[in-house]
């Protein structure tokens, strides 16, 4: 909280400027950056759309949301909501359920049939997007809004990329994904399925494209050398999840072991249980604290009967059994072998050790710098080859849907500038608002709304969606838990506490202004502002 400043009175000073000449500091209204906005990899104006949500104007909230993210119903299901981990409300009771409200808005838009605003006037420029995953779809949407003709070339039979082939249906129903993809196509984006780009330069030349955005997902499974007998059934996690989209489901058997510790390993183990496995065991070489999978996913898996063998590694795969060595962590946290072994029965072994990107479409392109299996790009998302941009799994970054959507948006803005012969300069960000600059005791306790969850029996035997959504009353309540960190929400505190009538109300939505001729700089307004939207600054008058 900003400390109030003491008043220094000069009795001999002239009263021509009323109280203005008595001040050392004066209050100013300002907008600060909420931590949720700062923490969103997709760059959403979270506080902005929450504001419209809490007033009940859901369409306006949705339109504010999709300004940065065209897939809110998807994101409301699969995003790991880093925004909530930094939410200042967490210092009062629990963070605002941002992800739950986002899902509500996304679902409401599908139910009401809301469409995107029509694109701007056609520019005559053509852009090729390679890959119909989250990054490619995001870029295509933003480029279409600028008025460019966009064509997506997707190697697979369906759009969605790793959202479809890497995220199980119990987390992301396919009708939701298909509906949000279709809404992007309805803008005029051309989607060509079963169209693999073998050479980006050739495809650009043949299609007369002025620029390209590469968003090929990480579909190639990493392998490891495990001595195995001829009868051993070893498959990779990507193939298992991909085959779930076909009519013939994978045959994994009754006892399934998954080797790995990421979210994909968790997804495969939970999928195996739903396919009828009596045992689904994850073997991971470190402990739970080091496991890269998100904690809430680990908890859900354990609830469904998935077992996890911590500090273990697979040494050999035999006929219907695996040899597992116990590990221990050294002082640096790195697993070391102990020489202790055990045997566990398994009908199949699924390797979930990460994925790589197929970069063969870049062969022969000059100026590219490829390192550790990904393409290096500059701050504008452009590769070393002019006019060719890249994002998502193809560049060094965290591989999540939210990050990919943010890459697509950022690339689209830079591609638009490139096509116009200019450079995109993002607006300067406001200073971050921290909880110490707020009066959180003004807000009453209101714990986060708990979303409904499918019962355990149905979770183990069906692919029905596990986590339910909020209804309108709950979504409204959750949106109203927002503290409006760093931005005035017209609570009237400054107006009410000012002893000198120096605060003027400008009307609904117009906020306030200070009448400095009457302000003594006492700092009460700043000290009593709940959201930290007033700052005391040196008076230069």
CATH number of the domain at 492, please.
3.30.70.20
Percentage of residues of the chain with pLDDT beyond 90:
79
Kindly state whether residues 350 and 360 are assigned to the same domain.
no
Q: Say if 4 falls within a structural domain.
A: no
- Which of the residue ranges 1-5, 169-173, 203-207 would you say has the lowest mean pLDDT? 1-5
pLDDT at 475 over 70: yes
CB 134 within 8 A of CB 218: no
pLDDT of residue 231: 57
Closest Cα partner for 466 from 270, 212, 230, 251? 270
Question: What is the 3 state secondary structure string of 491-540?
Answer: CCHHHHHCCCCCEEECCCCCCEEECCCCCCCCCHHHHCCCCCCEEEEECC
Kindly state whether residues 43 and 100 are assigned to the same domain.
yes
pLDDT band at residue 230 under the 50/70/90 scheme = low
For 33, which DSSP code? Answer: B
Q: How far is residue 361's CA from residue 375's CA, in Å, rounded to a whole number?
A: 12
pLDDT at 80 over 80: yes
Q: Which two tokens stand for residue 339?
A: 């020489």
Q: What share of the chain is helix, strand, coil (3-state, %, to 5)?
A: 35, 20, 50
Q: Say if 178 falls within a structural domain.
A: yes
Kindly state whether residues 392 and 364 are assigned to the same domain.
yes
Q: What mean pLDDT is predicted for residues 519-541?
A: 90
Q: Which two tokens stand for residue 102?
A: 């986002």
CB 45 within 8 A of CB 68: yes
Q: Say if 13 falls within a structural domain.
A: no
Domain span at residue 26 reads 18-31+488-538
Mean pLDDT of the chain: 91
Percentage of residues of the chain with pLDDT beyond 70:
95
Kindly state whether residues 154 and 245 are assigned to the same domain.
no
**Could you tell me the CATH number of the domain that includes residue 286?**
3.50.50.60
- Residue for token pair 């392109």: 365
Kindly list the distances between the CA atom of residue 403 and the CA atoms of 205, 250, 457, in Å, as whole numbers in the listed order: 30, 30, 34
Higher pLDDT, 20 or 429: 429
Q: How far is residue 46's CA from residue 26's CA, in Å, rounded to a whole number?
A: 30
pLDDT of residue 541: 58
Q: Are strands 190-192 and 149-153 parallel, antiparallel or unpaired?
A: parallel
Half-sphere exposure of residue 430: CA atoms within 13 angstroms, side-chain side: 16
Q: Say if 327 falls within a structural domain.
A: yes
Kindly state whether residues 74 and 44 are assigned to the same domain.
yes
Kindly state whether residues 108 and 183 are assigned to the same domain.
no
Residue after which a domain boundary falls, among 297, 329, 354: 354
Kindly state whether residues 240 and 332 are assigned to the same domain.
yes
pLDDT at 13 over 50: no
Q: Say if 460 falls within a structural domain.
A: yes
CB atoms closer than 10 angstroms to residue 254:
15
Q: What mean pLDDT is predicted for residues 125-135?
A: 97
Q: Which two tokens stand for residue 262?
A: 């990421």
Q: Say if 22 falls within a structural domain.
A: yes
Question: b/e string for 402-431 if b means 16 or more Cβ within 10 A?
Answer: bbbbbbbbbbbbbbbebbeeeeeeeeeeee
Q: What mean pLDDT is predicted for residues 189-201?
A: 96
Kindly state whether residues 441 and 530 are assigned to the same domain.
no
Q: How far is residue 268's CA from residue 297's CA, in Å, rounded to a whole number?
A: 12
- Residue for token pair 């072998």: 337
Closest Cα partner for 250 from 263, 262, 225, 233? 233
pLDDT at 18 over 50: no
Write out pLDDT tens, residues 394-412.
Answer: 998 889 999 999 999 999 9
pLDDT of residue 364: 86
CB atoms closer than 10 angstroms to residue 182:
11
pLDDT at 473 over 80: yes
- Residue for token pair 């195995």: 228
**In whole angstroms, what separates CA 466 from the centre of its chain?**
20
pLDDT at 5 over 80: no
Phi, psi of 137 (to 5 degrees): -65, -40
Domain count, the chain: 4
CB 536 within 8 A of CB 25: yes
Kindly state whether residues 326 and 362 are assigned to the same domain.
no
Kindly state whether residues 200 and 102 are assigned to the same domain.
no
Residue after which a domain boundary falls, among 325, 354, 383: 354
Residue after which a domain boundary falls, among 462, 479, 496: 479
Kindly state whether residues 379 and 261 are assigned to the same domain.
no
CB 248 within 8 A of CB 259: no
Question: b/e string for 61-93 if b means 16 or more Cβ within 10 A?
Answer: bbbbbbbbbbbbbbbbbbbbbbbbebbbbeebe
pLDDT of residue 332: 86
pLDDT at 447 over 90: no
CB atoms closer than 10 angstroms to residue 356:
15
Scanning 171-217, the segments in alpha helix (DSSP H) are: 174-185, 200-207
Write out pLDDT tens, residues 273-315.
Answer: 999 999 999 999 999 998 999 999 999 999 999 999 999 999 9
Helix/strand/coil for 49 = helix
pLDDT at 12 over 60: no
Q: Say if 5 falls within a structural domain.
A: no
Q: How far is residue 180's CA from residue 189's CA, in Å, rounded to a whole number?
A: 13
pLDDT of residue 9: 37
Kindly list the distances between the CA atom of residue 35 and the CA atoms of 40, 339, 340, 432, 487, in Å, as whole numbers in the listed order: 9, 48, 47, 7, 12
pLDDT band at residue 218 under the 50/70/90 scheme = confident
**Could you tell me the CATH number of the domain that includes residue 461?**
1.10.1060.10
- Which of the residue ranges 14-18, 163-167, 401-405, 406-410 would you say has the lowest mean pLDDT? 14-18
pLDDT at 223 over 90: no
Q: Say if 427 falls within a structural domain.
A: no
Q: How far is residue 242's CA from residue 254's CA, in Å, rounded to a whole number?
A: 20
- Residue for token pair 């209101």: 446
Kindly state whether residues 360 and 216 are assigned to the same domain.
yes
């Amino acid at each position: 909280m900003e400390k109030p400043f003491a008043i220094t009175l000069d009795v001999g000073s002239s009263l021509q400027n009323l109280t203005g000449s008595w001040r050392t500091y004066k209050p100013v209204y300002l907008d600060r950056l909420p931590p949720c906005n700062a923490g969103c990899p997709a760059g959403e104006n979270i506080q902005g759309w929450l504001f419209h949500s809490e007033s009940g104007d859901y369409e306006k909230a949705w339109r504010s949301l999709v300004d940065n993210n065209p897939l809110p119903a998807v994101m409301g299901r699969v995003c790991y909501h880093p925004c909530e981990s930094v939410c200042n409300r967490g210092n009062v009771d629990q963070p605002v359920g941002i992800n739950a409200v986002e899902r509500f808005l996304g679902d409401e838009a599908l139910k009401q049939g809301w469409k995107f605003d029509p694109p701007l006037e056609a520019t005559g420029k053509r852009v090729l997007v390679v890959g119909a995953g989250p990054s490619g779809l995001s870029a295509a949407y933003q480029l279409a809004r600028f008025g460019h003709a966009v064509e997506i070339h997707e190697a697979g039979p369906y759009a969605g990329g790793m959202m479809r082939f890497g995220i199980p249906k119990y987390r992301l129903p396919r009708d939701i994904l298909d509906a949000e993809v279709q809404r992007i196509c309805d803008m005029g984006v051309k989607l060509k399925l079963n169209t693999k780009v073998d050479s980006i330069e050739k495809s650009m030349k043949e299609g007369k494209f002025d620029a390209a955005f590469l968003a090929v997902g990480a579909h190639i499974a990493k392998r490891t050398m495990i001595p195995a007998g001829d009868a051993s059934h070893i498959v990779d996690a990507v193939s298992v999840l991909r085959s779930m989209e076909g009519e013939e489901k994978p045959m994994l058997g009754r006892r399934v072991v998954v080797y790995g510790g990421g979210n994909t390993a968790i997804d495969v183990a939970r999928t195996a249980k739903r396919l009828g496995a009596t045992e689904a065991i994850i073997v991971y070489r470190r402990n739970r604290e080091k496991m890269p999978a998100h904690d809430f996913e680990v908890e859900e898996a354990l609830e469904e009967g998935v077992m996890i063998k911590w500090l273990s590694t697979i040494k050999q795969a035999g006929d219907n059994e695996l040899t597992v060595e116990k590990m221990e962590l050294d002082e640096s946290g790195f697993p070391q072998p102990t020489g202790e072994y055990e045997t566990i029965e398994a009908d199949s072994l699924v390797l979930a050790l990460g994925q790589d990107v197929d970069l063969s479409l870049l062969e022969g392109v000059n100026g590219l710098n490829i390192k550790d299996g990904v393409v290096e790009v500059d701050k504008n998302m452009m590769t070393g080859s002019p006019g060719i941009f890249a994002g998502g799994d193809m560049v060094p970054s965290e591989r999540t849907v939210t990050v990919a959507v943010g890459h697509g948006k950022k690339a689209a803005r830079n591609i638009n500038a490139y096509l116009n012969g200019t450079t995109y300069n993002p607006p300067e960000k406001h200073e971050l608002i921290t909880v110490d600059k707020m009066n959180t005791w003004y807000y009453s306790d209101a714990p986060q709304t708990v979303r409904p969850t499918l019962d355990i029996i149905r979770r183990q035997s069906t692919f029905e969606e596990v986590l339910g959504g909020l209804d309108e009353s709950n979504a409204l309540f959750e949106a109203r838990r927002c503290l409006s960190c760093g931005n005035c929400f017209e609570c009237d505190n400054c107006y009410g506490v000012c002893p000198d009538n120096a605060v003027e109300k400008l009307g609904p939505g117009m906020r306030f202004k200070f009448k400095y001729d009457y302000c003594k700089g006492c700092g009460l307004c700043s000290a009593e502002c709940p959201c930290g939207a007033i700052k005391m600054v040196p008076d230069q008058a």
